[in-house]
Chain A
Amino acid sequence: MAGLKDQYAIVGIGETEYSRDSGRTTRAMGVEAVRSAMRDAGLGPDEVDGMLSYHGNDSTASPTIATDLGIRLNFYMDCSGGGSSTEALIGIACGVIEAGMCKTVAIFRSMNGYTEARIGGTGRQAPAFRSGALQQGIYGMSSAAQSFAPSFMRHMYEYGTTSEQLAHVKVAHSKHASNNPKAFYKERVSVQDVLASRWIVKPLHLLDCCVETDNSTAIIVTSVERARDMAQSPAYIMGVAGRTSKPSVGYHWRSGPISRVAGHYARPIVFGTAGIGVDDIDVTGSYDAFSFTTMLQLEAYGFCAEGEGGDYVSSGIIELGGDRPNNTSGGHLCEAYTHGMNLVIENVRQLRGKIDDYCPNWQDGEHTYDYSEGGCRQVRDAEITMNLGWAMPATGSALIMRR
């Protein structure tokens, strides 16, 4: 079997506050997040020697963060990227440790995604408006929402998928966020709230779109041999697929059903390495830049058949208390927008049995499993989780972990 099943693990997680007014640099936030992840793992500066980060020209690079933390690096790489980078970089971390280049890797993302460079292309540090290789910008098609919306609309046309069905994604994630003290939006919303919110790009209502926030997040990856000595129980990496793409990435709408996204190609890779199937997954983390991205990826990875995503997301399965909850932190729609890393962090917490909800003794792994508002969000006996990372319709990554 190809891959490095169960040879590497996530041993540390950290994040800053999720806010819309950090008032700090990406450098200060990055240092805090990585430091928090190191403390979580029980690691000092001499025990981390690798660093990976991804950015959109909106961050601070690894050598600066490492220096600020007293870390001397044996390996680092800062790459351009957005959603779906987290899973891909976790795979790279396993690879460079396997290659003998370093022993323990901290991965971080730091972004003032609300007060500086907003993902939608506006904000204080907005990049110059480009018409781009697709020549889409000259038609007023440039933001993520604008670039993806025709794929969503076509899914509705081909399969009868409705706005009501998609609204259930926001409803579920807002339910989860109401049990998450860290979440930026903690208020529960109804299907009607989603449908009554204003159009951004039809078929996307405002509440079909994720929140934009300022934050940094971090994850530490090491080998299972080292993981055994650390402060937390490891989240073992069973399989990973990174930045898997459709043919002709730029013209993703060129051929086939355009709502068939990159996960279609990542699926055999990640499940192949893990040696398991969809029925073994207890919790999913399907990237929710938009309600539709969650649905399209659940289809692509086989949690339901192509075209049946609307039924799947509106059936109750994806809610806490359902058979396979999705984005139990509230995800990008409610907790914060981190370009994917908070979705992996949440699943690590699920596997530890130590979700940081409103249960008084969550730090000891004591949970009520009462999912009422202001209560618990731990999934009972979560053994295997899967993250479905989205960059765009044509590029995605995936990660399967076990406790």
Chain B
Amino acid sequence: MTDETSSYLPAGLPAPAANVDGLESPFWEGTRRHELVVQRCNDCETYQWGPEWICHHCRSFDLGWTEVPPRGVLYSWERVWYPVHPALQAKLPYMVVLVELPDAGNIRMVGNLVGDAEAEVEIGAAVEAVFEDHEGGGDVEPYTLVQWRVVEGS
């Protein structure tokens, strides 16, 4: 696990969307503490990501949250050369990855892969979470994104 103060993508992108139902709150509260917290069913103990109201394994509505080791393996990736948001023009290319978490039932998460965006990447590579703090400002509360970094020598 590594702490990161500068952001991978340029400033100017929107903050995480409003979370009025609170469905994702434990995750975002966890990232502020630099902990990776995901959904786990209180009935069948199946891990689940992203967060939803129902457990897709046993259909229980009794879902809890649990901290998991902030590490995984690269499941898939893309290298973006043509951005949508204008702010991203300042950072091309950039990497988006799907990471699988073997310590948490192989749930998958979306994030960026920090480091050289043009470096070779291999599906199956070991990665670790990078907690990327954002100060917020104006109406935006401080928030922390979970990014990923290849574990050297993996």
Report A's interface with B, CB cutoff 8 A.
Answer: 120-122, 129-143, 145-146, 149-151, 153-154, 157, 198-203, 247-248, 250-251, 253-255, 258
Distance of A123 from chain B, by nearest CB (Å): 11
- Our pick among A150, A198, A199 for the contact of B96 (Cβ within 8 Å) is A150
Q: Name B70-89 residues within 8 Å CB distance of A.
A: 75-85, 88
Distance of B95 from chain A, by nearest CB (Å): 9
Chain A residues positioned under 8 Å from B14 (CB to CB): 129-131, 137-138
Chain A residues positioned under 8 Å from B145 (CB to CB): 138-139
Question: Which residue of chain B lies nearest to A150 when distances are taken between CB atoms in the complex?
Answer: B76
Whether A140 contacts B13 by the Cβ 8 Å rule is yes
Chain B residues positioned under 8 Å from A151 (CB to CB): 76
Q: Name B91-116 residues within 8 Å CB distance of A.
A: 93-94, 96-98, 107-108, 110-112
Report B's interface with A, CB cutoff 8 A.
Answer: 9, 13-17, 24, 49-50, 52, 56, 75-85, 88, 93-94, 96-98, 107-108, 110-112, 123, 145
Distance of A75 from chain B, by nearest CB (Å): 34
Whether B84 contacts A248 by the Cβ 8 Å rule is no
Question: Which residue of chain A lies nearest to B123 when distances are taken between CB atoms in the complex?
Answer: A157
Most chain A CB neighbours (cut-off 10 Å) among B15, B76, B88: B76
List, sorted by A's number, 17 A–B pairs whose CB atoms are closer than 8 Å.
A134-B110, A135-B50, A138-B145, A139-B110, A140-B9, A140-B83, A140-B88, A140-B94, A141-B110, A146-B80, A149-B96, A150-B97, A151-B76, A200-B82, A203-B78, A248-B52, A254-B50
- Our pick among B9, B15, B52, B79 for the contact of A139 (Cβ within 8 Å) is B9
Whether A248 contacts B16 by the Cβ 8 Å rule is no
Cα A120 to Cα B84 in complex, Å, equals 7
Whether A143 contacts B84 by the Cβ 8 Å rule is yes
Chain B residues positioned under 8 Å from A198 (CB to CB): 81
Chain A residues positioned under 8 Å from B77 (CB to CB): 150, 153
Chain B residues positioned under 8 Å from A154 (CB to CB): 75-76, 98, 123
Cα A258 to Cα B123 in complex, Å, equals 14
Whether B13 contacts A138 by the Cβ 8 Å rule is yes
Cα A54 to Cα B113 in complex, Å, equals 37
Question: Which residue of chain B lies nearest to A205 when distances are taken between CB atoms in the complex?
Answer: B81
Chain A residues positioned under 8 Å from B81 (CB to CB): 198-202
Cα A267 to Cα B50 in complex, Å, equals 27
Question: Which residue of chain B lies nearest to A203 when distances are taken between CB atoms in the complex?
Answer: B78
Most chain A CB neighbours (cut-off 10 Å) among B16, B24, B83, B94: B83
Known: A135-B50, A153-B123. 14 other contacts (CB 8 A): A129-B14, A130-B14, A131-B15, A131-B17, A133-B17, A136-B110, A140-B96, A143-B84, A151-B76, A157-B76, A201-B80, A247-B56, A248-B52, A258-B98
Whether B96 contacts A129 by the Cβ 8 Å rule is no
Distance of B117 from chain A, by nearest CB (Å): 10
Cα A172 to Cα B6 in complex, Å, equals 46
- Our pick among B15, B82, B98 for the contact of A150 (Cβ within 8 Å) is B98
Question: Which residue of chain B lies nearest to A155 when distances are taken between CB atoms in the complex?
Answer: B76
Whether B16 contacts A199 by the Cβ 8 Å rule is no
Chain A residues positioned under 8 Å from B84 (CB to CB): 120-122, 129, 140, 142-143, 146
Closest 8 CB pairs of A and B: A149-B78, A150-B76, A202-B79, A154-B76, A121-B84, A131-B17, A199-B81, A200-B82
Most chain A CB neighbours (cut-off 10 Å) among B24, B78, B97: B78
Cα A297 to Cα B18 in complex, Å, equals 35
Cα A157 to Cα B123 in complex, Å, equals 8
Whether B80 contacts A254 by the Cβ 8 Å rule is no
Question: Which residue of chain B lies nearest to A137 when distances are taken between CB atoms in the complex?
Answer: B14
Question: Which residue of chain B lies nearest to A248 when distances are taken between CB atoms in the complex?
Answer: B56
Chain A residues positioned under 8 Å from B56 (CB to CB): 247-248, 254-255
Chain A residues positioned under 8 Å from B96 (CB to CB): 139-141, 146, 149-150
Chain A residues positioned under 8 Å from B108 (CB to CB): 253-254
Distance of B140 from chain A, by nearest CB (Å): 12
Distance of B48 from chain A, by nearest CB (Å): 8
Whether B98 contacts A253 by the Cβ 8 Å rule is yes
Given contacts A153-B78, A199-B81, A201-B81, A131 and B16 within 8 Å (CB-CB): yes
Whether A251 contacts B111 by the Cβ 8 Å rule is no
Distance of A96 from chain B, by nearest CB (Å): 32
Question: Which residue of chain B lies nearest to A122 when distances are taken between CB atoms in the complex?
Answer: B84
Chain A residues positioned under 8 Å from B13 (CB to CB): 129, 137-138, 140
